[in-house]
Amino acid sequence: MCGIAGLIHRGKSSNVGEELQSMLQALKHRGPDSTGYALYAENDGQNFIMRFKVGENVGEGSTSVNEDESVYDERKKLVDKKLSSLGATVVKEDRLTPYSFRYEIKIDMDLMEFSKAIESINNVEILSIGKSLELVKDLGDATAVSERYGLHKVKGTHGIGHARMATESGVDIKSAHPFWGYPFSDVSVVHNGQLTNYWNNRRALENKGMRFMSECDSELIAVFLAEKMRNGATLEEGMKESLTGLDGVFTYFVATKDSLGMAKDTMAAKPLVLYESDDLVAMGSEEIAIRSILPQEITTYDPFDGEVKVWQI
């Protein structure tokens, strides 16, 4: 089933981490397996933030293979070595769980080449790279993940999130949402639905040099949009193309450093409720997500079939 939520404050920052946590917690019944956040935080914009993992969370109902934690240290050393060889400078590093890290780095090279080099290390996956994007995903509900990573303290302009019920692939972090729009800085995607032409699209995109890290059909949306943008399309143009390029049922959100967008398939088979005012847009799979941050009476609506909308901060 899965639940998705997103919000964007226009013209100001807010406590987006706490707000998104409330929205996703209200949607827990739609997806208890994992929760993910893509928060666009008030960073100074000087360095890239790289979130990556060197292993899986093997607790909390995970379908991943159990590993000794010592291998995480080995992989981290390999990442550090690789960063050094690429000429990257690590300004700050945080180890948030035994398997996941947040690095602030200075790099001066193509992000695709950089990512390929880092991910050439076995079992290392970059969750995101960006100057404001803080992408975190892990097993557990919204509150558990937020507390584990300290997300309730994050201030910023916008964010998207996902409460996942695993149907198309395993209960693990690599299949959890959001997906980074590799290799673009600060692009993330969450999806509710099923895509039925996943393998056809995946083969075609891989032949064009795009990378997939999971077998989760939702990852296709991020890669599909990234490929369109790589060829010069705007985010909105790519999203409009996705309505015919992707087959299946879907409502998805995509966020960049300064915008938030939504798209709904032409059958309108997946739910979405939207609230829009001059300074705030909040949306989610169910109204209770919006009500968790706006308890007062407001006017909400369901976007129609085949609708694409993009808002700027």
Partner 1 sequence: MANLKTTNKKTKAQSMGMHTEVLTGRTQQKFFNPDEGENFFYFGAHDVDFNKRTELDVKDLDCKQANQKIDELMSKGYGTIVIKNPQGKHSLGVGILNKLNLIFEGSLGYFGVGSIDGPIVRVNGRVGWSCAENMMAGKVVIEKNAGSCFGAAIRGGDLICKGSVGARTGIDQKGGSIIVGGDAGAFTGFMMQRGRIVILGDVGINLGDSMYDGTIYVGGKIGSFGSDAVEAPMTKNDIDWLTRKLKVAEIGNDFDVTKMTKIVAGKKLWNYDALEPTEKKGAI
Catalytic residue among 2, 126, 187, 274: 2
281 binds partner 1 (CB under 8 A): no
Q: Are strands 48-53 and 125-130 parallel, antiparallel or unpaired?
A: antiparallel
- Spatial strand order of the sheet with 179-180 comes to 179-180, 188-195, 248-256, 259-264, 308-312
Smallest distance, Å, CB 261 to partner 1? 20
Question: Quick one: which segment of 112-120, 167-175, 224-232, 284-292 binds partner 1 (CB under 8 A)?
Answer: 284-292
- Spatial strand order of the sheet with 156-164 comes to 133-139, 34-41, 156-164, 3-9, 280-284, 273-276
110 binds partner 1 (CB under 8 A): no
Among residues 160, 190, 163, which one has the least CA distance to residue 250? 190
Question: Quick one: which segment of 79-87, 105-113, 239-247, 296-304 binds partner 1 (CB under 8 A)?
Answer: 296-304
In the chain, which ranges are continuous DSSP H helix?
16-26, 70-85, 111-119, 142-149, 198-207, 219-230, 235-245, 287-291
Q: Is 216 a catalytic residue?
A: no
Out of 144, 288, 310, 313, point to the residue binding partner 1 (CB under 8 A): 288
89 binds partner 1 (CB under 8 A): no
Instruction: Mark 237-276 with x for binding to partner 1 (rule: CB under 8 A) and - for no binding.
Output: -----------------------------xxxx-x-x---
Smallest distance, Å, CB 276 to partner 1? 12
Dihedral pair phi/psi, residue 137, rounded to 5°: -145, 145
The three-state secondary structure class of 270 is coil
Among residues 187, 163, 185, which one has the least CA distance to residue 176? 163
277 binds partner 1 (CB under 8 A): no
Q: Given the rule CB under 8 A, which residues bind partner 1?
A: 266-269, 271, 273, 286-288, 290-291, 295, 297, 299-302, 304-306
Catalytic machinery residues? 2
